[in-house]
Amino acid sequence: MGVLVFVCAPNGKHPITPQGFHDATTDLNQIEEWWRTPGWANVLRQEMRTMTSALRAADLSFTEWLSTGQIAVILRSAYDPAIASTLDRHGDLGQELATAGLVAVNEAWGHLRTDSAYHAVLWVSEWPRSLVHPGFLAPVLLSTGVLRSFSLIVTPMRTDQAARDIRKKKVEYVSDDAQRARIGQIEDASQNAEYQEQQTDLTAGHGVLRYSGPVSVTADTLEDLDAAVSAITKAAIQSSCETRKLVGQQAKAFTAALPLCRQV
């Protein structure tokens, strides 16, 4: 009797294992799993496992991956906050991802209206330039009386792109420094040290990450929305951050503030 060895799947789908895409196996359960699962699903599952391992290696803990039903409830509650409490009370409602979208939308220059609420999206345009404690965003995330959502999007940059970006910023800094010297202003030594540190890290082989932090603020009326935006802006200052309203692109920015890993 021969031994069944699974080397590839139909339609060009290959087994996904930690060792690569073309490893063979004699595990009948693994063979059946590969055979019945679409190729893209196997790739996604491997990416999830890789992310889980990376989080644990960084001493970060998480509870679980969101299910499609949980994502559907989050999206529905974001578009229609009036229904959020009902969805919380009845766990079997709002679980269909296909019907989680909004019913109507109206985008203005500085805000967005969906279903039962008004939204305005701010962008963290400047992060702290000095050392801060891990909970420095607490004023933004935990201030009471404001309904908001915050996403931290971390994008790895290619080494060559990061090097060009650092050189460009350094040239701009030198040019600005020369202008400041002509008018008698003092040199900003902290900014120069920041660029030097980034260049040193890059040369040492460390990766460079680009951080983006959209903050979506929600309210029942435009008047309440203006007050909430003002409160978050002041809270960001307490967190040593600067925020700017993403005017002219509120719909796209609102999507970036949802847990969908979309960039602005």
Percentage of the chain exceeding pLDDT 70: 82
Asked whether the predicted pLDDT for residue 16 surpasses 70, the reply is no
> CA 111, CA 89: separation in Å to the nearest integer?
30
- How many angstroms separate the CA atoms of 207 and 264, rounded? 22
Residue 221 has pLDDT above 50, yes or no: yes
Helix axes 189-203, 159-182, angle to 10 degrees: 160
Half-sphere exposure of 216 (CA within 13 A, CB side): 27
State the CB neighbour count (10 A cutoff) for residue 261: 10
Query: pLDDT class for 107, splitting at 50, 70, 90?
Result: very high
Which whole-number Å values give the CA distances from 35 to 17, 39, 42, 168, 192, in the listed order?
A: 14, 9, 10, 50, 56
Answer whether 114's CB lies under 8 Å from 256's CB: no
Asked if 46 and 71 count as a contact pair (C-beta separation under 8 A), the reply is no
Mean pLDDT is lowest, of 26-30, 97-101, 128-132, 182-186, for 26-30
Question: Per mean pLDDT, which range of 74-78, 97-101, 123-127, 133-137 is the poorest?
Answer: 97-101
- What does the block give as tokens for 92? 């079997």
Asked if 195 and 187 touch (Cβ cutoff 8 Å), the reply is no
- Sequence letter at residue 37: T
**What are the beta bridge partners of residue 188?**
none
CB 253 within 8 A of CB 111: no
* C-alpha separations of 128 from 3, 125, 237, 238 in Å: 61, 10, 10, 10
> What pLDDT digit, counting tens, does each position of 27-53 carry?
666 656 655 666 777 788 888 889 899
Mean pLDDT (whole number) for 162-174 = 81
Can you read off the two tokens belonging to residue 23? 């490893």
Give percent of the chain above pLDDT 90: 44
The answer to which of 90-99, 173-182, 228-237 has the lowest mean pLDDT is 173-182
123-165 pLDDT, tens per residue? 999 999 888 999 999 999 998 999 999 999 888 888 888 888 8
